[in-house]
Amino acid sequence: MKVTGLISLWTLVSLPCGPLANPAEREDVVKHAIKLHRGKGAVITQRKQWVLESCRKLSGLLRQKNVVLNKLKNAIRAVERDAGLSDEEKLFQVHTFEIFQKELNESENSVFQAIHGLQRALQGDYKDVVNMKESSRQRLEALREAAIKEEMEYVELLAAEKHQVEALKNMQHQNKSLSMLDEILEDVRKAADRLEEEIEEHAFDDNKSVRGVNFEAVLRVEEDEASSKRNASKREVEDDLGLSMLIDSQNNQYILTKPRDSTIPRADHHFIKDIVTIGMLSLPCGWLCTTIGLPTMFGYIICGVLLGPSGLNSIKSIVQVETLGEFGVFFTLFLVGLEFSPERLRKVWKISLQGPCYMTVLMIAFGLLWGHLLQIRPTQSVFISTCLSLSSTPLVSRFLAGSVRGDKEGDIDYSSVLLGMLVMQDVQLGLFIAVMPTLIQAGVSTYSSIFKEILRILILIGQILFSLAAVFLLCLVIKTYLIGPYYRKLHTESKGNKEILILGITAFTFLMLTITELLDVSMELGCFLAGALISSQGHMVTEEIMCCIEPIRDFLAIIFFASIGLHVFPTFVIYELTVLLFLTLSVVIMKFVLAVLVLSLILPKTSQYIKWIVSAGLAQVSEFSFVLGSRARRAGIISREVYLLILSVTTLSLLLAPALWRAAIMKCVPKPERRSST
């Protein structure tokens, strides 16, 4: 059998041929193997004939390779002594010969690496999966290194070919006189070559040896290869390879972020098609939800469901769509901050501060209790409870849009309480994002000392409080000295041109976003604070800026809610409908009851009636649980199953929120105010 012959070939050839053996020694070993095989009286049968033929071929190839290497060395010496060649021509020819030498040596090394791989496989235990996995990993590493070497050699050959073509052009130009136009074009060509060399970053060569960088096998998928490239030339195909899609062995898909040639403008057509499709389908979905009495945001979520992986699966650039949708969150929170009137909320600041804190503590306590009964890890219980304690600021902002905000006979306005509590929850969101690394470490650490764990948590809380103090101190300085002159300058420069005003407000929002992110506080809090600082300039300023920013917010909010729909899986909801309905109703009822209980303790007696409306507005789960859940799943805090449950419960709670809000409005708001509130 061939396996027996391979074992014989390995026994006779590979054992003396270590990695350090030179070509001459390898050839001697092959000849010695043939003599030993004959000396043992082996019968030349058809079954074993291939062993001798392989040995002879290998010996002949090694001998021929040595002859060719000697000829290449002589050719290199001849080129170096040739006085008729220029230095560039000598360098080109020598480089070509060296590439061929490298090809011969790499081919020989590949043969003996394959033999060593066969030895490892024969020495291993076929029942030991760990050993087989290690052998497979070593083969993968060898193949990846060989692929990288071959890729580099191919690039060098392309460069040599380009150099040869340029050399021929130079020889032709020397033999004939050039016109003035040809001389100009030749100078432009040389300048373009220098430009390409200056802007080329050599990212592959610079990063391939960096620690933590792995070589991966990927598939390159050409877009519309059968139609658009059927009549394209080979050069056009090679130039267009940058817009193709790469798929790795883990089924992750990659697109081009920065081309090698930055002088050619390129566009991600997949991303353009995705945004266009979302924009067109969002219109009928939004109309449908408006017709049946639901907020339009659910239509946008349905649009994402239809186009996402659980629907038509037509969205290719999912990460890019989600990234653009994040700007919808930024501008939504900016407008929430713009409506944040410190004067109007001054008398409810205690309620706004105490209410969310009490609710979060109670939710975590209930979560730890249920987690202990169900034997769930404390870190997982704390994360899930905190996620479920947050409520949706964009959704409640839509509920409050157009509602009556005035106070009557000294009573507290429910919209002020709701907005203040949601703002505090946004602050808690930033705190929780900052605490997530501690939850990750707590999930994998094995501290034996409780004192060390408590000390580490206290240090983290101190860092968070310091960052918040720095942020609010900076806000105080900006409000006192900078925001007034800054807005007056923008207003003066933007007369008759709203572009400067929009750009100035956007730049200020992004500046606050960057500052809070650098201080390890959430970027969302920075956007809210930017709106709050601008709202301090008065009602007229707020109205002017809101008219400019609202259309931008509305379009980006469509992308954001559609990106949420990309992660909603109706099939999973249908399969686990009973469990999900029970969990969703339990969460909604628990949040409503806890909110009523907390507000009953902290609201004045004259304003107790608004606790039902405020509790109804808080009895849903924030869409930020998608973001927190994805981060926790990547960090290993929660499992895939828990992540899908959080997504489904969040979606169902958001769908139930309008009905609960309407019921509370019908019960507690007088008829003249009810129409504007709903």
pLDDT, one tens digit per residue, over 250-262 is: 677 777 777 777 7
Please check whether residue 648 is in contact with residue 420, taking contact to mean a CB–CB distance below 8 angstroms: no
Query: What size, in residues, is the chain?
Result: 678
Answer yes or no: is pLDDT of 344 > 70. no
Helix axes 318-338, 498-518, angle to 10 degrees: 100
Question: What residue has token string 């790499």?
Answer: 106
Answer yes or no: is pLDDT of 21 > 50. no
The amino acid at 526: G
Task: Kindly state the DSSP code that residue 482 receives in the 8-state scheme.
Answer: I
Q: Give the pLDDT of residue 173.
A: 62
Q: Tell me which range, 166-175, 224-233, 493-502, is most confidently predicted by mean pLDDT.
A: 493-502
Beta strands in 238-362 (DSSP E): 245-248, 253-254
Helix axes 49-81, 23-39, angle to 10 degrees: 160
Helix axes 450-477, 414-444, angle to 10 degrees: 140
Of 259, 422, 299, 409, nearest to 355 by C-alpha is 422
Q: Give the pLDDT of residue 33.
A: 53
CA distance 382 to 446: 18
Provide the CA 217 distance to its chain's centre, in angstroms: 20
φ and ψ of 504, to 5 deg: -65, -45
φ and ψ of 253, to 5 deg: -110, 140
Q: Tell me which range, 164-168, 176-180, 565-569, is most confidently predicted by mean pLDDT.
A: 565-569
Q: What is the largest CA-CA distance in the chain?
A: 115
Q: Give the pLDDT of residue 175.
A: 57
- Give 385-428 pLDDT, tens digit per residue: 888 998 987 778 777 764 544 444 445 778 888 878 887 887 77
Average pLDDT (329-347) is: 75
Task: Kindly state the DSSP code that residue 176 receives in the 8-state scheme.
Answer: S
Of 417, 299, 309, nearest to 359 by C-alpha is 417
Q: 9 in helix, strand or coil?
A: helix
The H or E element that residue 287 is part of is helix 269-291
Q: 32 in helix, strand or coil?
A: helix
Pairing of strands 253-254, 218-221: unpaired
Q: How crowded is the C-beta side of 439, counted as CA atoms within 13 Å?
A: 24
Helix axes 129-175, 87-123, angle to 10 degrees: 170
